[in-house]
Amino acid sequence: MNTHLRPHLAWASLLAWFCLSLPSAHADGSRMPARILPAYTAECAACHTAYPPGMLPAKSWQRIMSGLDQHYGSDASLDAKTVAEIGQWLQTHAGTYKRVAEAPPQDRLTKSAWFERKHRKIEPAVWQLPSVKSAANCAACHTGTEQGVFDDDHLKRPVGLSARQSRSWND
């Protein structure tokens, strides 16, 4: 091997090792952890989007799990073992970065400052469309919700947009 290439190969190897050692999830916590707890999918995703746990801080998840009997107007009670299992998983993977440093009002993801900022151009009428129903229905527009992919590259127009709303979709 040519001796003047060795330092470059060493740096390339070091860079490759560093990149491969980084966590697979985005630093913003919007991706699902590599290991999704089956109980979380079975219990939580049965009624709504299974939000990536990194989208809320640990305190929010703790309050949500301790109030399942009054879960946003529904009784989502679970047995103690399942509550403990899901609660621990949510705590382990809860958001710790700047965007989720503060719990949103009522521990609602859709009331968080970052959610409102990202969706500020969406008219209230869009949330009421039969194909959308509410701001909590991420899958109405985000095609990668099951994998925790919410970026702008994975969007679809919800059914029922007016011509004006369709034109402004790409703004």
Task: Compute the distance between CA of residue 91 and CA of residue 71 in angstroms, rounded to an integer.
Answer: 18
Which token pair is 24?
């697979």
Instruction: Determine whether 150 is exposed, middle or buried from the number of CB atoms within 10 Å of its CB (0-12, 13-18, 19+).
Output: buried
8 A C-beta contact, residue 31 and residue 148:
yes
Q: Return the pLDDT at 32.
A: 87
DSSP label of 122: S
Count Cα neighbours of 157 within 13 Å in the Cβ-side half-sphere: 13
- Write the pLDDT tens digit of every residue in 121-171: 899 999 999 999 999 999 999 998 888 888 888 899 999 999 888 877 766
149 three-state secondary structure: strand
Percent of the chain with pLDDT over 70: 81
